[in-house]
Amino acid sequence: MTMHDIYLLSPELSLAGLATLVLLVDLIVKRKSYLFVLTTVGLVVPLGFTLALLGSLDGAGVVENQGVLRDTLVVDKFALFFKLLLISIIAIVSLLSIDYVRRFEQFQTEFVVLLLYSATGMMLMASTKELITIYIALELSALPVAALAAFMRDGRSAESGMKFLILSGISSALLLYGMVLVFGLTGATQLDDIAERIATLAINTDEPFGSYALLMGVVLMVAGFGFKITAFPFQMRAPDVYEGAPTPVTAFLSVASKAAGFAVILRVFYSAFGIEELSVEWSAIFAVLAALSMTIGNLVAIAQRSMKRLLAYSTIAHAGYIMVGLAAVSTRAGSGDSSLGISAVLFYLSGYAVMNLAVFSAVIAISNRINSDAISDFAGMARRAPYLSAVLAFGLVSLTGIPPTVGFIAKVYVFGAAIDAGLEWLVIIGVLNSVIAAYYYLRIVKSMYLSEPLSTDPIESGTPLRLAMLVTSAGILLFGLYPTGLLNFVKSAAQALLSTS
Amino acid sequence: MEFEGNGLLTLVVFLPLAGALGIALFIKRDKEVRYMAGAIALAELILSLMVFTTYDLSEGGVQLVDRTSQWIPIESFKVEYYLGVDGLSAPLVLLTGLLGFAAVYASWSVKTRVREYFVWLLVLQTAVMGVFTALDFILFFLMWELEMIPMFFLISIWGSGRREYSAMKFLIFTFLGSAFMLVGILALFYSTGTFDMILLPDAIAQTELIAPAGIIFGLIFTAFAVKLPVWPVHTWLPDAHTDAPTAVSVMLAGVLLKMGGYGMIRVSAGMFPEVIVDAAIVLAALGVVNVIYGAIITIRQTDLKRLVAYSSISHMGYVLIGISSVAGVGGLVSSTGLTGAAMQMFTHGTITGLMFLVVGLTYEKVHTRSIPELGGLSARMPVVAVAFLIAGLASLGLPGTSGFVSEILIFLGAFPVYGWFTGVAVFGVVLTAGYILWMAQRTMFGPTIDRFSNVRDASRMEMVPLAVLIGSIILVGIYPSFVSDMFRDGVAGIVADIQRSGALAMVLP
């Protein structure tokens, strides 16, 4: 490991260092809220390193003198995009946690430290280009979450943690099995090498993916990653985990875990299986999964009574929308812009992070006070907490995909990419789903603004939550009205992925 | 960032929104909120008149363009900020200004959550103005969707009866329609590479679309059909109208339905000349169903508002029939039918707007909308009764009112093309006369009822919107070319495209 390697890895290293520092300072500091300030402010260090790396990219969006740690990691604009996104998410989530952790008698600091370690794993996931490293990064990101999910130490939380642990174990096993098959066929764990070997293998056009072994490997890998992004039919854990876990952890899981999962999927499928014969095949798999995830997620969400469960099903549906962009593979692009599908995924992930965190901030702020997640308890909330309700309503409108919000642009962009790739049927299913979603999202808005409140006590929220809500709702509006900057950024990140693969 | 244009349309579109933000952030007292909203609505009316009068008819084409390509200049998703008016949209901008003004003044007596109410009403006006002036397809779609949220709140908070059900039904229907439209818009963009609604007709003619033109047409048409509304996707309208507050009914019937008709002419007819010719007979048939079915249902209504709502369905059928005349006869298309359809949108906007205002006033004074309970009101409220009669007579197409002009144009245009359909549709006028006169007789005339002896006539404030709308109905009735010349110019290009497309030869016997 040279100095240059350390520099290239500096965002991850500094984030892990920050986590360790917070853990140590915890021993000497009494007021735990200082530690959250330290965390939030400390995030400036990994952020600074990431921005510095962004500055040193060359024209193709890659840092020169690649080959970090024997070529297992890559630092390109694509990876740095995800690092920026994850740092922003963790900053918001740590703001959300400050008030929330007061309910724990002990281990308040450990809560945020585990979040930071998990985020470190996720940042590594975005950079990996080698199967074993992917596996390690994935485990690093998942294990702290299992502890976090069980943090409340009540029955449901324990169930949540246990379910997360077991199912993430199963998904890792499936993933490993898939990786082994791919390795067996190609003799390589490096994504670029895999791509090279596959190209030289005689493709048997009668069999899907050229050979059943590769088909099996790919399907198992999709299954393994499917758990990460809560795609149907691997979504079963999500509602129980989401409901039982502390709400900031739920927020973190629904946006960060999803972003990292998609980062790995994009990297693996575009780097290792990027040739046209294969991409058409896996595009079909993702198209079907996208249609099912959207439909199942939205339909089941209608019947939910708990806010957290509803958001869990909504996150499954949104995984479906994002997979629409994944299915829109470059090789079919009619417009000739081969990065359109990837940039649609990246844009949707950023937009989803902003709007979902806005919704979660408001939900946390409200349920902190009323000690309930039931949707019926949000009735008439607009009179008790006008600003919180406005943020929640705005976030829900954005999740529905109605202008002037980032959700609208993200929806149009991802469906546009799919149309460009000739997936009209999938887009029709997608838009019909957005109508179903409108029903259950706006029903909450309606109940907040129309129903009689259950009590007249006004609901106050602390400064950190207010800050989180301000930032996220400003993001919804800004990216909804003027998405150009972000669109340009995701586009060059997408092109970097294509050029490194 | 280069910006082309003088900003007049930008001001017209965004002034209400700016006013809404101002009210939301800075104004607390209900009275001040009303005056602020009133001032903005008045300014908006003046601005829309300015748009209408500055439009230079002798020059034609798209004018008053406000444009910058720097909004989202991404190669594979190139969205422009592009506003402009032509002969088709300039009168509709005026209509929106008129009814927006009427709606704000008709809301003077709103008592609950006044600030929120006016904020949403103004946002709604921005969205509708945006739909009529946007010339970039995504901007158009954005404005189209933006309109849903204010309507949803306006109906569900300030409505009556089953308002929450009606609001949700309105939202789901509209959203479903626009979902299909989004697919169509994207399919057009990824075939032609442009969202520019002025360039699209030519671009579509010259490129091979990624999906059959008929399918894209159908997807986009669905959204307009829901909005107009066309039978059988009309069911949201009576519910929404019945439960909406007066001013919102005015906006809904007056301008929101016209978004559907406008879209049909500009997009369905303007961009798909060959498909619209093939589909014309279906449109004519649907139009006749709308006219006759709507009218028959209307006769059976006992609730004043529901009655006017169903009559809107009937009247919007004429728009469809007018559009169907593009199938032409003997290989020749005349612009009469399309002009009539556009005129019908304008006149129905003012007439039904007036009708809902009167019904709203009646309800406010008498506290019932049930026709059997009413009667003899003309003695108590002469001004309202006169306005009511004028609206009714205009609605049934009495010569000298604007309703006559638009219907006669539609019949003249469509009769040579689809004689039978038009013949049946003309019978709708008889039905209209039936329900309008019967309703007037049962509510305003007849013996006075003691219960209503303390009912007061419209106040000065309430007369303002009545006067504005009556004025425009009479003006267009006696001097129709005031707007019809502009509409004729606006549809001329579309008619020429259809003539050129060569589709006509195929449908001729």
Q: What is the mean pLDDT of residues B181-205?
A: 87
Residue A87 has pLDDT above 90, yes or no: yes
Query: Cα–Cα distance between B66 and B85 in angstroms, integer?
Result: 10
Q: What is the mean pLDDT of residues A471-479?
A: 92
Query: For B82-122, how does the pLDDT look when each residue is reduced to its tens digit (9 = 90+)?
Result: 888 888 888 999 999 989 888 888 888 888 888 888 999 99
Residue B412, classified by CB atoms within 10 Å of its CB into exposed (0-12), middle (13-18) or buried (19+), is middle
Instruction: Write down the pLDDT at residue B377.
Output: 79
Number of domain units in chain B: 1
Inter-chain contact A337–B75, Cβ cutoff 8 Å? yes
Alpha-carbon gap: B157 to the closest alpha carbon of chain A (Å): 6
Higher pLDDT, B501 or A262: A262
Quote the radius of gyration of chain B (alpha carbons, Å): 22
User: Tokens for A241?
Assistant: 């985990």
Note whether A96 and A468 are within 8 A (CB).
Answer: yes
Alpha-carbon distances, residue B485 vs A68, A312, B202, B412 (angstroms): 72, 57, 25, 16
Residue A30 has pLDDT above 80, yes or no: no
To the nearest whole number, what is the mean pLDDT of chain B? 86
Q: Name the least confident of A326-340, B309-323, B386-400.
A: A326-340
Q: Which helix (H) or strand (E) covers residue B69, if one does?
A: strand B63-74
Inter-chain contact B76–A403, Cβ cutoff 8 Å? no
Alpha-carbon gap: A302 to the closest alpha carbon of chain B (Å): 14
Q: Kindly state whether residue B261 falls inside one of the protein's structural domains.
A: no
Q: Which amino acid is at B369?
A: R
Query: Cα–Cα distance between A407 and A430 in angstroms, integer?
Result: 14
Inter-chain contact A415–B186, Cβ cutoff 8 Å? yes
Instruction: Write down the pLDDT at residue B76.
Output: 79
Query: A277: closest CA among A190, A208, A340?
Result: A208
Q: What is the mean pLDDT of residues B371-384?
A: 81
Q: Using DSSP, state whether B71 is helix, strand or coil.
A: strand
Query: Cα–Cα distance between A351 and A368 in angstroms, integer?
Result: 25
Q: Which residue of A has its CA nearest to B192?
A: A335
Q: Give me the phi and psi of A415, to 5 degrees please.
A: -70, -35
B145 → closest Cβ in A403, A422, A491: A403
B145 → closest Cβ in A402, A424, A487: A402
User: Tokens for A215?
Assistant: 């088909």
Q: Please tell me what DSSP assigns to residue A203.
A: P
Q: Kindly state whether residue B256 falls inside one of the protein's structural domains.
A: no
Inter-chain contact B186–A431, Cβ cutoff 8 Å? no
Q: Name the least confident of A26-40, A120-134, A375-389, B192-206.
A: A26-40
B78: left (phi over 0), alpha (psi -120 to 50) or beta: beta
Upper half-sphere CA count for residue A185 (Cβ side, 13 Å):
26
- Global ipTM: 0.87
> What is the domain range of residue B402?
272-509
Query: Cα–Cα distance between A430 and A297 in angstroms, integer?
Result: 12
Q: What is the mean pLDDT of residues A325-329?
A: 87
Q: If pLDDT is split at 50, 70 and 90, which confidence band does A375 have?
A: confident
Q: Which amino acid is at A306?
A: S
Q: Kindly state whether residue B247 falls inside one of the protein's structural domains.
A: no
Query: A91: closest CA among A45, A145, A43, A38?
Result: A43
Alpha-carbon distances, residue B67 vs A474, B82, B145 (angstroms): 26, 4, 21
What sign for the dihedral angle of Cα B430, B431, B435, B438? Answer: positive
Which residues of A, range 222-261, sit inside 8 Å of B by Cβ?
A: none
Query: For B251-271, how does the pLDDT look when each residue is reduced to its tens digit (9 = 90+)?
Result: 888 899 999 999 999 898 888
Alpha-carbon distances, residue B161 vs B235, B252, B254 (angstroms): 17, 17, 22
Q: Which amino acid is at A112?
A: V
- In DSSP terms, B63 is beta-bridged to B85
Q: If pLDDT is split at 50, 70 and 90, which confidence band does B507 have?
A: very low
Q: Using DSSP, state whether B111 is helix, strand or coil.
A: coil
Alpha-carbon gap: A447 to the closest alpha carbon of chain B (Å): 10
Query: For A256-273, how does the pLDDT look when each residue is reduced to its tens digit (9 = 90+)?
Result: 999 999 999 999 988 888
Higher pLDDT, B204 or B331: B204
Q: Kindly state whether residue B363 falls inside one of the protein's structural domains.
A: yes
Q: Kindly state whether residue B283 falls inside one of the protein's structural domains.
A: yes
Query: For A159-205, how does the pLDDT look when each residue is reduced to its tens digit (9 = 90+)?
Result: 888 888 888 888 899 999 999 998 988 888 888 888 888 888 766 66
Q: Kindly state whether residue B374 falls inside one of the protein's structural domains.
A: yes
Q: Kindly state whether residue B161 falls inside one of the protein's structural domains.
A: no
Neighbours of A488 (CB within 10 A): 14
Q: Kindly state whether residue B442 falls inside one of the protein's structural domains.
A: yes
Q: Give me the phi and psi of B77, to 5 degrees please.
A: -160, 65
Query: Cα–Cα distance between A472 and B154 in angstroms, integer?
Result: 27
- Does the reported pTM lie above 0.95? no
Query: Cα–Cα distance between A32 and B153 in angstroms, integer?
Result: 43
Alpha-carbon gap: B154 to the closest alpha carbon of chain A (Å): 11
Q: Using DSSP, state whether A117 is helix, strand or coil.
A: helix
